[in-house]
Amino acid sequence: MALKKTAVLIHGYHLGAEGWEELVWGHPPERMGVISRGVLLAKELDAALLCWGTGASEKEGKKEGERMYEYALAHLPEHAEFLKEHSQVDTSAHNTVEEIHVAMEACLAQGVERLFLVAAATHAARSLNTALTLCEEEKFEKFRHNIFAAPADTSYAGHTPGDTYIMEPPHRGDRPKVPLYKNVARLGAFRRSQALAAEFNTAFGKFLDEWEKKL
């Protein structure tokens, strides 16, 4: 069986994020950040394509993907030739959905059939879920069984993977068939304002305290 052509997507991270350098670089080889993990994985897999994702932030006119690519060139000079030959730096995406969409389009254009998503340990689960959701689109269906999460050792500053909460739709026969996940998904809207998020979180906590008394 012929080996599938492989791509690696290194997710971009907000340039104003606390501990950005620790997140993207870590302390290799003991503690691999997103960049160090992604580049070495791409080399190990002999990836045909190395996608540098990006988001909404930029610094001095350069987007997240551009900054991370330049960081890789500066800190991994021994892999510079590989990086320059195989890298595609995205400057158009604004979020995780768009990052993966751009990478999948690039894979289709270059005949790549297998995609590895390199993300912070606190982000990897959402990255994979986003990719699987995109696989519902007919043109991306081929990736459904050929997409993999490859988490870095680093996480968002001050957090661990255990701080990332995942709620599945109801499916067990011994649990209520109530779509609580639909309301949980709405909480993301409150991230747009620091003051509003803090006010809502306090009120929501008190609300849950009252309802927990009924359990």
Domain harbouring 102, CATH code: 3.40.50.620
Domain of 63? 6-157
Q: pTM for this one?
A: 0.94
Mean pLDDT of all residues belonging to the chain: 95
Q: Are residues 100 and 169 in the same domain?
A: no
From 68, 76, 124, select the one nearest 93 (Cα to Cα). 68
Q: How far apart are the first and last CA of the chain?
A: 55
What integer is the mean pLDDT of 100-114?
A: 97
How large is the C-alpha radius of gyration of the chain? Answer: 19
**Residue that has been written with the tokens 């012929």 in this structure:** 2
pLDDT above 50: residue 90:
yes
Q: DSSP characters for 85-104? A: HHEEE--S--SHHHHHHHHH
Of residues 211 and 2, the one with the higher pLDDT is 211
Q: Looking at the 3D structure of the chain, how many domains does it have?
A: 2
pLDDT, tens only, 60-81: 999 999 999 999 999 999 999 9
pLDDT of residue 101: 98
* pLDDT beyond 70 at 166: yes
Residue pLDDT, tens place only, 91-105: 999 999 999 999 999
3-state secondary structure at position 6:
strand
Per-residue confidence at 191, pLDDT binned at 50, 70, 90? confident
Both 149 and 195 in a single domain? no
